[in-house]
Chain A
Amino acid sequence: DAKTTQPTSMDCAEGRAANLPCNHSTISGNEYVYWYRQIHSQGPQYIIHGLKNNETNEMASLIITEDRKSSTLILPHATLRDTAVYYCIVRVAPSNQGGKLIFGQGTELSVKP
Chain B
Amino acid sequence: GAVVSQHPSWVICKSGTSVKIECRSLDFQATTMFWYRQFPKQSLMLMATSNEGSKATYEQGVEKDKFLINHASLTLSTLTVTSAHPEDSSFYICSARDLINEQFFGPGTRLTVL
Contacts and interface: CB of A to CB of B under 8 A. Distances in A.
B105 A43 contact: yes
B46 A42 contact: no
Contact of B108 (A41, A97, A103): A41
A43 B46 contact: no
Interface residues of B, number: 25
Contacts of B46: 100-103
A44 B107 contact: no
**Chain A binding surface SS class:** loop
Interface string A90-111: 0000111101111111100000
B105 A94 contact: no
A106 B43 contact: yes
A87 B43 contact: yes
A101 B103 CA distance: 8
B110 A41 contact: yes
With a 10 A CB-CB cut-off, give which of B36, B44, B95, B110 has the most chain A CB atoms: B44
Nearest to A93: B101
Nearest to A87: B43
B75 interface: no
B89 to A, nearest CB: 14
Given A100-B34, A103-B43, A94 B107 contact: no
A34 B90 CA distance: 25
Interface in A60-101: 87, 94-97, 99-101
Interface of A: 36, 38, 41-46, 87, 94-97, 99-106
5 nearest A-B pairs in the assembled complex, by CB-CB distance: A43-B105, A94-B101, A103-B44, A103-B43, A44-B105
Interface of B: 1, 4, 6, 32, 34, 36, 43-46, 49, 91, 93, 95, 97, 100-108, 110
26 contacts: A41-B108, A41-B110, A43-B4, A43-B108, A44-B95, A45-B105, A46-B102, A46-B104, A46-B105, A87-B43, A94-B100, A94-B101, A94-B102, A95-B100, A96-B101, A97-B32, A97-B101, A99-B101, A100-B46, A100-B49, A101-B95, A103-B36, A103-B45, A103-B46, A104-B43, A105-B43
